[in-house]
Amino acid sequence: MRRLAAAAAAALLAACASGPVPPDWQANAHDALRSFEDAYLRGNARVAQLELARARNELASTGRADLVAQAELVRCALRVASLDFDDCPGFAPLAGDATNAERAYAAYLAGRWQGLDAALLPAPQRAVPSRGDAALGAIQDPLSRLVAAGALFRAGRLTPAGIGAAVETASANGWRRPLLAWLGVEQRRAEQAGDAAAAALIRRRIELISAGGS
């Protein structure tokens, strides 16, 4: 079972992975979140939207805002990994009833790192605010690594090497949506540096990916 982008959902996943048979809402929410993640990363926006709505509906049946907040944090993390930044509007109405760890993760994803208690972050992200992209190599889960790279980019703290690592991570996993976003960053850097050959190579990669998804 591949981990969801937001480690804030780890408790839900663990409950589904072992022990007694989980209640229907829990199993259904887990499956919907996993399908949402896959569809989003592959660039299938319509399916991703439907699966996120299904996950939210299952979690909302419990009346627990903190569980619905987990689904929204998954969405926010995937968008950060794909450099598709927003203010995480689905989480904002739930923030008052979310846990401290969920609020810390939301702040981290939003680039609000001043005063952030990194100890509250999901384990793969805790070293990122202090170590920058030097922490990327120690993150074994590729999606967590990509989320960290996106958070660093948003905070203005990602080096060219970190950008390259993000490109390779997205490419190795066939994640079309984030790969296009990160290649776009590399292309702009090549153009700004006056490296026409590198920019042309990246542009051909982008065209190949885009044609494959048409």
Q: What is the pLDDT of residue 182?
A: 98
Answer whether 161's CB lies under 8 Å from 185's CB: no
Report the distance separating Cα 102 and Cα 66, nearest Å.
Answer: 8
- Residue closest to 170 by CA, chosen among 155, 153, 156, 157: 153
Residue 6 above 70 pLDDT? no
Q: What is the pLDDT of residue 15?
A: 44
Q: What average pLDDT does range 187-198 have in this prediction?
A: 97
Average pLDDT, the chain: 90
Report the distance separating Cα 173 and Cα 170, nearest Å.
Answer: 5
Q: What is the pLDDT of residue 3?
A: 54
Report the distance separating Cα 107 and Cα 166, nearest Å.
Answer: 21
Handedness of CA 174, 82, 139, 207 (dihedral sign): positive
Nearest 5°: the CA angle 170, 162, 204 is 50
Length of the chain: 214
Report the distance separating Cα 142 and Cα 151, nearest Å.
Answer: 14
Q: What is the pLDDT of residue 21?
A: 72
Residue 203 above 80 pLDDT? yes
Each residue's pLDDT tens digit, 104-157: 999 999 999 999 999 999 999 999 999 999 999 999 999 999 999 999 999 999
Report residue 64's pLDDT band, with 50, 70 and 90 as the boundaries: very high
Residue 64 has φ and ψ, to the nearest 5°, of -105, 110
H or E segment at 18? none
Which tokens in the block code for residue 152?
């660093």
